[in-house]
Amino acid sequence: MSFAAVDLGASSGRVVLGHIADGRLRTEEVHRFDNGPVRLPDGLHWDAVGLFREVLTGLRLAAPRAPVSIGIDSWAVDYGLLDAAGGLLGEPFCYRDSRTDEVSREVVGSLGADQLFERNGLQFLPFNTIFQLAAAARGAQLAAAESLLLVPDLMGYWLTGRRGAELTNASTTGLLDARTHEWCPELARAVGVDPGLLPALRRPGEEVGPLLPHVAEDTGLSGASVVAVGSHDTASAVVGVPAQRPNFAYVCTGTWSLAGLELPGPVLGEPARRANFTNELGVDGTVRFLRNIMGLWLLQESLRTWGLSTAELPGLLAEAAAAQPLVSLVDAEDTRFLPPGDMPGRIAEACRETGQPVPETRGAVVRCVLESLALAHRRAIRQAAELSGQDVEVVHLVGGGARNELLCQLTADALGVPVVAGPVEATALGNLLVQARAAGQLSDLDHARRVVADSHDLAHYSPSGDRTPWDEAERRLHR
Ligand code: ADP
Ligand code: LRH
């Protein structure tokens, strides 16, 4: 029995087929495509229809294996608005658009940062859906909208004609109650949004529906239906973490680094809020207690500024490995790095402001980026452990960054904890495993993780070197 995962990342998307045989998950990537925001006169957007075309292409390529179900995940927080006829009201905004910079501060000022966190348990990020909607409420488009669909739910709607809001991704909007896991209509109203826009919630594993006849005909997938997975990509990635013991932390490294812990319930209250932690919902009622770190976006955007492609990454990483260690580090959680633009320039500026040498070569800039990420991973994981009282014996690093040996080793060195790297495609695997569980092939998360561990070669990194220079760098940046 085969399943199809549609995994839409901020920098690339893929359609992956998978089936379980002899306790192993066998996968085949049938389609991969680039993704990225595009600037239009009114701001930064995603090409949602273009993405849907790629989804259809992937499903057509998957058809010969006749998957029984399709699961969709993507980056969080962004949404499309539908009018009464079901038409899309404009291309979805990208979370890197700056229109929420001011409005997010105003909303927090009027609702109270502590009140908001007590209710939704979310890290303050200027692009949380609640702030995007507060900005939208000042324009005309929202008045014409009948429903709001997060990106994977929008793709699901276009495949099936059914609307809904998958729970893990709904938990990133800022409009979901962290305790009851239900929508908070009064928070929606407080930012000028009709709560009727928010569709009924659905849980990972629930059936969304069969494919619309024209989709079934176009893709050749007449027997398949869409099944809700952890549609927030980070929720799926954490399902795909091959942890074999309870005391693990994870870093999901792609465009972002999401570093933290899986917990049975939320950590609310002032210390967690002041440390700017988030409590996002995972599969099976788990909570992802983590912080968003700017991630490999810092590297992607540096490459773009230099006019280089990902093919040139291995050469640059070799230069970074040869560069002098721990010369200059920046705060990889600083939102100055959020918008697209000259990344090496912003890094140089941050180094100057903190009295550190400006990296002079590309290798030195990449070294600065990777060491800064490693330090941010360490801070988030140590603080998550302290705030939750959970010990950390091992860190699992999954996602595209698991291919970056220097980043994995630096993360182990900074933390003084072993790092297990891989799988690179943990998100697609988590997506497939939730479908396999819905089909009755797996029992629980531990079972799913055993299958991942048995199916993949993982790389092990032991901490090396002295922690003192990392301690000094941390003091320099976070006095
Ligand atoms: P997302 O899902 O957010 O789009 P991915 O998980 O696909 O991100 O990870 C993308 C990242 O993987 C890139 O930014 C890049 O830094 C890293 N990566 C890709 N290929 C390589 C490689 N050959 N060596 C090291 N890192 C790589
Ligand atoms: C990673 C991710 C992350 C969100 C960000 C917007 O792809 O979903 O968890 O915070 O995108």
What is the domain-level CATH number for residue 133? 3.30.420.40
**Residue 24's beta-bridge partner residues?**
21
* Catalytic status, residue 233: yes
Q: Give the C-alpha separation, 446 to 311, whole Å.
A: 36
Same domain for 64 and 145, yes or no, is yes
Domain containing 154: what range? 3-233
Amino acid found at 212: L
Per the CB < 8 A criterion, the answer to whether 240 and 450 are in contact is no
Residues 6+ apart with CB under 8 A from 17: 2, 3, 4, 5, 27, 28, 30, 62, 65, 67
Same domain for 160 and 129, yes or no, is yes
Domain boundary among 211, 233, 255: 233
Length of the chain, in residues: 479
Closest residue by Cα to atom 22, ligand 1, is 403
Is the Cβ atom of 10 under 6 angstroms away from ligand 2?
yes
Q: Name the H helices within 139-231.
A: 151-160, 167-170, 185-190, 213-219
Whether the predicted interface score ipTM is above 0.85: yes
Structurally, the chain folds into a number of domains equal to 2
| Residue 295 CA, closest ligand 2 atom number | 1
Q: Using the 8-state DSSP alphabet, how is residue 143 labeled?
A: G
Same domain for 20 and 125, yes or no, is yes
Note whether residue 435 is domain-resident.
no
Query: 279: buried, middle or exposed (CB in 10 Å: 19+, 13-18, 0-12)?
Result: buried
Domain boundary among 233, 252, 283: 233
Same domain for 146 and 193, yes or no, is yes
Same domain for 223 and 318, yes or no, is no
Per the CB < 8 A criterion, the answer to whether 427 and 376 are in contact is no
Same domain for 104 and 205, yes or no, is yes
Residue written as token pair 């040139």? 312
Note whether residue 24 is domain-resident.
yes
Q: pLDDT in tens for each of the 479 residues of the chain? A: 999 999 999 999 999 999 999 999 999 999 999 999 999 999 999 999 999 999 999 999 999 999 999 999 999 999 999 999 999 999 999 999 999 999 999 999 999 999 999 999 999 999 999 999 999 999 888 999 999 999 999 999 999 999 999 999 999 999 999 999 999 999 999 999 999 999 999 999 999 999 999 999 999 999 999 999 999 999 999 999 999 999 999 999 999 999 999 999 999 999 999 999 999 999 999 999 999 999 999 999 999 999 999 999 999 999 999 999 999 999 999 999 999 999 999 999 999 999 999 999 999 999 999 999 999 999 999 999 999 999 999 999 999 999 999 999 999 999 999 999 999 999 999 999 999 999 999 999 999 999 999 999 999 999 999 999 999 999 999 98
A 10 A CB-CB count for 373 gives 29
Same domain for 333 and 470, yes or no, is yes
Note whether residue 372 is domain-resident.
yes
Same domain for 280 and 181, yes or no, is no
**H or E segment and range at residue 450:** helix 445-455
Is the Cβ atom of 292 under 6 angstroms away from ligand 2?
yes
Distances (CA, A) of 91 to 13, 244, 254, 296, 473: 18, 42, 24, 25, 42
The residue from 7, 73, 97, 233 that is catalytic is 233
Same domain for 264 and 135, yes or no, is no
Per the CB < 8 A criterion, the answer to whether 34 and 58 are in contact is no
A 10 A CB-CB count for 150 gives 27
Ligand 1 pocket test target in 8, 29, 32, 255 with most atoms within 8 Å of CB: 255
Is the Cβ atom of 313 under 6 angstroms away from ligand 1?
yes
Closest residue by Cα to atom 18, ligand 1, is 400
Widest distance between CA atoms in the chain: 63
Instruction: Pick left, alpha or beta for residue 277 (phi over 0 → left; psi -120 to 50 → alpha; otherwise beta).
Output: beta
